[in-house]
Structure 1
Amino acid sequence: MTVTTTVDRALERVRTERDAVQDKRAALERFVARVEDVSVDPTPPPTRASTTAGGGTLAARSSPTDGGRHEVRTAFAETVRSHSVDDLDDDESLLETIASELSDSIATALGSTPDGAFTPDLKRAVLSSTRDRVDETQVVAAALDREATHLADVRDEIATITDWLVDADDTPLSECEFDELATRHDRLAAHRERCDRLVRDRQAHLAETTNQTAKGAVAHRTLVTYLYDDFPVDYPVLATVVRLDAVCADCQRAVRDHLVRRA
């Protein structure tokens, strides 16, 4: 019988998050491709002076077009937005989402103000900021991969212990010979040592940081805090292993009692 633990749920959570991050990275890359195809707005012609009836002059400015900025906003809405906002029915505006993903200044520059334009500098800024976000998602994905690998290893080691406990439970202690009890006691001691090692390994993993590029790093403890925020325990791996060690300790005491009575 396979015993399902919180570690299994944690692994499923990591895999779901990893898929979401990979989807977002692909969306950001699609956005980059579309922005690269957007032409910058033409440079407005010089200010023309017109003469008034009284002989004075008025400056007449050409109104820049919103074409390029509109194309970029549309591209963002059709690629990145659904991967940035958890609930598309909420009140967050498109420009607010752009600000959270790229920057406040870029969102302001992309706004449909009458005196704005999609300039070469603005295009470079949009592309640079988006590529930074692509790099960041790559680092997060790498950290999630490491977490998934670690969880899978822990799950397998936990399964080895729980499977043994389930099998051992089929034979009552009263039916075991003295040597069988001694062997069971030693096996439980080995399982407890394994639990102790798993705790140490997990603590070491939490203290590490994934650095995939010069532009980003993910502290594993910070990632874990985010991933398991809605779990009943803050650290599902540690909680599961500590609980398993306690079960092994109880079993070991019961075996020891039988050994003492038969000595």
Structure 2
Amino acid sequence: MISTHIHDARERVAAEQNALDAKIAAVETFIDRVGEIAPDSTAAAQSTSSQGIATTTATQLQTGGARTEGCAAVREAFAETVRPHSVADIEEPEPLLETISAELTDSVAAALAPATNTPLSSGLKRAIVSEAESRRTEIEVMRRTLDSEADVLADAGETVDEITSWIADADETALSELGFRELKQRHERLESHRVRCEELAADRQAFLRETTSEGVETGVRHEHIIPQLYEDFPVEYPVLSTAGRLEELCRDCQRAVRDHLTRRA
């Protein structure tokens, strides 16, 4: 079997699927840990409603003197669960609150910032859990996108493997050893392979224009996300590049066969 960029892409997607599975589990653990944290026992924390993180924080800051053990515990839970998966690909370390902002919104990061001295109320706790659940849903949608990508790559890989295997087998017999009819059959077979390559490219472009949106208001557009998986690859679009190069190879082979057919005519 000839190795192509599609094979490399399948390995990358499998690794990313494992990484997302681990991150989903981490977010779920974070949600569980936050659920076990008792709200701070202050008048401010007890009197604040769950009208939103921004309202909750503003109300608590006005009271002053609040205990903030709860928010510290939430920050610790996040640092030990979600953060390692969030910064795994980042070379330069980033502040914890910056990671919280990226994963759970700016409002959550502001509410949990030590400088704000915000106590953990029941309302704030529910809001944090709600944002974490939303983030988990987003990651799950991304995981389903990768599942679709894995299926597409598997089908594409099967098509490419079949064509490259046929070419490798055919190359074992020199064109000079083939009769006119055999040459004509080989030319027709190469034409069918070219059509399959063109169909593969068309199907790939159609897939990139699709969206995975189950469970979220704004879906994940494949053309915005999929290319990021392969940004460090030697080619920007592994499937399209492979399909194009294979179609070109089949065309070159056809040209050689036609030369022999012309001489035999």
TM-score above 0.5, yes or no: yes
1:176-235 Cα distance to aligned partner (Å, 9 max, x none): 111111111111111111111111111111111111213341111111221111112211
- In structure 2, the partner of 1:53 is none
The one-letter code of the counterpart of 2:168 is V
Q: Does 1:213 align with 2:215?
A: yes
**TM-score, normalization: structure 2?**
0.89
**TM-score, normalization: structure 1?**
0.89
Q: Residues 1-263 of structure 1: matches in 2 within 5 Å?
A: 2-44=1-43, 63-86=65-88, 90-113=92-115, 115-263=117-265
2:72 and 2:114 in contact (8 A); partners too:
yes
The answer to which structure has the higher strand fraction is 1
1:125-153 Cα distance to aligned partner (Å, 9 max, x none): 11011000000001000000001100110
Cα distance in 2 for partners of 1:42, 1:231 equals 53
1:49-94 Cα distance to aligned partner (Å, 9 max, x none): xxxxxxxxxxxx8832221111111110110010011367733111
The structure that has the greater radius of gyration is 1
Cα distance in 2 for partners of 1:153, 1:96 equals 40
| CA RMSD, Structure 1 to Structure 2 (Å) | 1.6
Cα distance in 1 for partners of 2:136, 2:4 equals 34
The one-letter code of the counterpart of 1:73 is R
Cα distance in 2 for partners of 1:143, 1:118 equals 36
- Unpaired segments of 5 or more residues in structure 2? 45-62
2:6 and 2:238 in contact (8 A); partners too:
yes
Instruction: Go from structure 1 to structure 2 and tell me whether the alpha carbon gap of 1:166 and 1:115 turns closer, same or farther (over 3 Å shift).
Output: closer
Instruction: Go from structure 1 to structure 2 and tell me whether the alpha carbon gap of 1:218 and 1:16 turns closer, same or farther (over 3 Å shift).
Output: same
Instruction: Go from structure 1 to structure 2 and tell me whether the alpha carbon gap of 1:113 and 1:171 turns closer, same or farther (over 3 Å shift).
Output: same
Provide the secondary structure at the position in 2 that maps to 1:139.
helix
2:190 and 2:253 in contact (8 A); partners too:
yes
Cα distance in 1 for partners of 2:189, 2:90 equals 54
Percent identity between matched residues is 47
Provide the secondary structure at the position in 2 that maps to 1:129.
helix
Instruction: Go from structure 1 to structure 2 and tell me whether the alpha carbon gap of 1:107 and 1:164 turns closer, same or farther (over 3 Å shift).
Output: same
1:64 and 1:114 in contact (8 A); partners too:
no
